[in-house]
Amino acid sequence: MTKHKETPEMRRERLRQEEIRRNPAGNASDAFDRNENANMADLVGGLNWKVTGIILVILIGFVVALLFLG
């Protein structure tokens, strides 16, 4: 697939793979640092909006159930 027709997800993955090839040791350090400083954008970065919405509905439902049943 040409670069002008690739989706943003495909572009991110291609750039990630290129970075791994250029600097394999730095990638391990980045992954460790990212794990310690994770945020919501990192969590849902690879998911589409439907999956993200389902996760949020489940979490909100869980909190509401705890409030009313707990």
Per-residue pLDDT of 35-50, as tens digits, reads 555 566 666 666 777 8
At residue 32 the predicted structure's pLDDT band, cuts being 50, 70 and 90, is: low
Contact status, residue 44 vs residue 52, Cβ threshold 8 Å: yes
Residues 4 and 27 in one domain: yes
For residue 30, the enclosing domain spans: 1-37
Asked if the model's pLDDT at residue 70 lies above 80, the reply is no
The pLDDT of residue 59 is 93
- H/E run at residue 23: none
- Number of structural domains (the chain) is 2
Question: pTM of the entire structure?
Answer: 0.40
Residues 2 and 27 in one domain: yes
Residues 30 and 11 in one domain: yes
The pLDDT of residue 62 is 94
On the 0-12 / 13-18 / 19+ scale of CB atoms within 10 A, 44 is middle
Cα Dmax for the chain: 54
Asked if the model's pLDDT at residue 8 lies above 70, the reply is yes
Q: Hey, what's the torsion of the CAs at 57, 63, 64, 66, to 10 degrees?
A: 140
